[in-house]
């Protein structure tokens, strides 16, 4: 995510969001430290937490990442979402060229009018 932030640093419309999968541990102060560690740009990259049922709902019903029955786990997947809240792409960071493809697709998406 840091690489994505760095590659797209000049665009004021970009927002990066990281969701915790361990809200019992990842309190707002802990997430603030993560943000500092990864040099997250304030107002651009957000680290979010919340009640576990809501995080599970987002995972399974909104971002369509879970299989509906598995426990929530740390993910190496990225989801590209447009200005209209439509999912435009999934990227598994362990796949070759995934991050460069994400960056290229985000650049294309940022050029689109809302």
Q: Residues 7-62: pLDDT tens digits?
A: 999 888 899 999 888 889 999 999 999 999 999 999 999 999 999 899 888 888 88
> What's the whole-model pTM score?
0.83
* The predicted structure's pLDDT at residue 67: 58
- Asked if 23 contacts 49 with a C-beta cutoff of 8 angstroms, the reply is yes
* The predicted structure's pLDDT at residue 72: 52
Which architecture characterizes domain 2-107 according to CATH? 3-Layer(aba) Sandwich (3.40)
Domain boundaries, the chain: 2-107
Mean pLDDT of the chain: 88
Does the pLDDT at position 66 exceed 80?
no
Those residues whose C-beta lies under 8 Å from the C-beta of residue 90, and which sit 6 or more positions away, are 77, 78, 79, 80
C-alpha to C-alpha distance for 47 and 18, rounded to whole angstroms: 5
């Amino acid at each position: 995510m840091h690489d994505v932030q760095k590659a797209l640093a000049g665009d004021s419309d970009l927002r990066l969001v990281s969701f915790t999968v361990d809200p019992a541990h990842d309190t707002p102060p802990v997430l603030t430290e993560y943000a500092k560690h990864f040099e997250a740009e304030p107002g651009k990259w957000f680290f979010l937490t919340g009640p576990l049922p809501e995080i599970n709902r987002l995972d399974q019903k909104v971002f369509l990442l879970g299989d509906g029955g598995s426990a929530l786990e740390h993910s190496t997947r990225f989801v590209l979402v447009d200005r209209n809240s439509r999912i435009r792409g999934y990227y598994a960071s362990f796949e070759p060229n995934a991050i460069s493809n994400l960056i290229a697709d985000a650049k294309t998406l940022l050029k689109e009018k809302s």
